[in-house]
Structure 1
């Protein structure tokens, strides 16, 4: 079953494409996206087609920040029912928790992880599927949307500790600085936004407990009707727990409200097992990590849930038939 994205992800595509000198409808045809998808924001379209459309549009126009230009024009209302739920939560922490829980209803290709430690809060974006392809444009759209949500609730003068991207900086930072200010970091270990825990405690003036209950009830009902399978749920948790070194079957099963044997039984009914899902997630992530030669291999090992560099190196050699250094050397020679 293909990974799907809500067609509202293409809001403002026509305007940005034309401003960049492109024929938007030609770009849509090239990527296999029907123009009719732009008429209804609730249509679900294959994520692969959307990601291809955005990356090809950036490449064909020579506009490296194509996705960010789309993102800065977004309004909270583009999130549909989730926008109502956000306004009706008591605190920013609860509002962002709602985004994390229900993001799959809008974009099945990404997951939002929320971490709090030592007075710092981290919103970390994780790619669920297709991590080997370039996702720069899509990631910048989502990070921009999160940033605009934060500004809406924290005020126009609020600034994050930092906005982080795994990819390298564009030739021009004009749009990034216009959108995010100066606290932008590239070539990082994650895509996301760093803020203070105090920011998370900000109350939302529009909070109404009755409306909040109805909004959450509606979204949870939609979530229950979604096509998210047990392997998909396990994969989402593996992505969140791998970098923390906590990705053991017992912990994942506990997060799902069941014991390890029950989880294995559900996975087996779909033709999967826990180890194969962990391995598939690592395969999805490892290429984008090792392609960045500025990232130490010890950091890659940690991000993939290995306690030592030697354990990661053995796994890489088993999967790719060569060492990481040999892989990087061959990749450099092909460029």
Structure 2
């Protein structure tokens, strides 16, 4: 079975890591050794490294340097070219929205565990980023890096002076939010029901000037070929859809099957070929998300129940006790006490 824990990511995801850790008074080589990486490996941006090692390296650096905004400082060093061939396609898009659609299509080639969705709500567009859960690993720094990089992508596409309406994170706020507000240039909210950037929809429809459509076509052909070679396991796609559909209780086997343009029986057959079932995947995703929110946010049990797709807090309470052997309150008391 392939999971986010076992997935690989371009080493470009840690571009600038060693220099930043060193500038903050830390020892980057020691931190990288703790997660099984070497500074030399990071010199090749296309080298593939374990996704779990990247997440752990970011969290270790924030703790070791005392910089709660470590990921944002790292994101500030990221030009659009850090995305490799994908950047060529984005630069030649007719509008920022078209560029974002292309980014969503090729995102798996950059980071298979990062899910990006774009939703239009009235005169706003919400760019939602979320990370597939990895057992036992925090997501604060990885999530802030993802949205920090997204902000820089949007500024390169729209203009350096552009600002979003607001930015939302599901995790708890840092002790000092000044750095986050300065970086994003807008209201930054924590303990929210989603991770994302809220934009003015009109900003994403602005026409862009393009310079080298030939290079973009070449890059797109290359990326399409890479997507075909990569392929997808049913379980990988199913996990992504479960996480996307859970809030609001819309996640059922039928709903996932419809999104995959197949019937429920076919979905079960594909999952069965991997030794899995929909219920097993649903419980796995719920368990990891429950622990992520309980550890990393100040959300109430009722708020977490909604994000996990339970119609009532009581249903979440019964499910939680069945899986963890105690109540939510007892679990939090054990962890924080």
The TM-score, its normalising length taken from structure 2, stands at 0.92
By how many angstroms is 1:127 displaced?
Answer: 1.4
Matched position secondary structure for 1:243: coil
Structure 1 segments unaligned to the other structure (5+ residues): none
1:115 aligns to 2:119 (yes or no): yes
**Structure 2 unaligned regions, length at least 5:** none
DSSP 3-state at the match of 2:292 = helix
Separation in 1 of the partners of 2:20 and 2:297? 32
Instruction: Give, in whole Å, the separation in 1 of the partners of 2:248 and 2:85.
Output: 32
Match of 2:34 in 1: 30
Give 2:183's match in structure 1, choosing from 175, 179, 182: 179
Matched, 1:74 2:78: yes
**How far off its partner does 1:46 sit?**
0.5
**Counterpart Cα distance in 1 of 2:171 and 2:248:** 21
1:228 is matched with which residue: 229, 232, 240? 232
1:306 to 296, 310, 322: 310
* Deviation by residue 1:41-65 (Cα, 9 ceiling, x = unmatched): 1111011111111111111111211
Question: CA-to-partner distance for each residue in 1:77-109, whole Å, 9 max, x for gaps?
Answer: 000011011112222222112222222211122
- Report if the CA contact (8 A) 1:113-1:125 is conserved: yes
Q: Which moved more, 1:175-184 or 1:120-129?
A: 175-184
The alpha-carbon deviation at position 208 of structure 1 amounts to: 7.2
* 2: CA distance, partners of 1:196 / 1:221: 34
1:286-301 → structure 2 map (5 Å cutoff): 286-291=290-295, 294-301=298-305
Contact 1:58 1:64 in 2 (8 A): yes
Distance, in Å, in 1 between the alignment partners of 2:146 and 2:286 is 23
Helix, strand or coil for the counterpart of 2:261? coil
What is the TM-score of this pair, normalised by structure 1? 0.92
Corresponding position of 1:277: 281
Distance (whole Å) between structure 2 residues aligned to residue 149 and residue 296 of structure 1: 33
Give 1:76-155 correspondences, 5 Å limit. Answer: 76-130=80-134, 132-155=136-159
Give matches, 1:13-24, under 5 Å.
13-24=17-28
Q: Can you list the C-alpha shifts for 1:101-138, whole angstroms capped at 9, x where unaligned? A: 22221112221122222222211121113164222221
Partner of 2:173: 169
The answer for the alignment partner of 1:192 in structure 2 is 196
2:260 counterpart of 1:256: yes
Segment of structure 1 superposing worse, 223-232 or 136-145:
223-232
> How many matched pairs?
333
Q: Distance in 2 between matches of 1:29 and 1:79?
A: 25
* Residue matched to 1:324: 328
CA deviation after TM superposition for structure 1 residue 157, in Å: 2.5
1:293 Cα deviation from its structure 2 partner:
6.6
Matches of 1:28 and 1:290, distance apart in 2: 28
Tell me, in whole angstroms, the C-alpha distance in 2 between the residues paired with 1:299 and 1:47. 28
User: Which deviations, in whole Å up to 9, do the C-alpha atoms of 1:165-192 show, x marking residues without a partner?
Assistant: 2223333444323321142122222221
Q: 1:90·1:207 contact (CA, 8 Å) conserved in 2? A: no
Give secondary structure in 2 for the equivalent of 1:35. Answer: coil
Are the counterparts in 1 of residues 167 and 186 from structure 2 also a CA contact under 8 Å?
A: no
- Hey, what does 1:315 align to over in structure 2? 319
RMSD over aligned Cα atoms: 2.1
Aligned partner of residue 118 in structure 2, secondary structure: strand
2:245 matches 1:245: no
Change (3 A) 1:250 1:209: farther
Deviation of the 1:205 alpha carbon: 2.0
Check the 8 A contact 2:248/2:311 in 1, yes or no: no
CA contact (8 A) 1:4 1:46 kept: yes
Whole-Å Cα distance in 2 between the matches of residues 204 and 255 of structure 1? 32
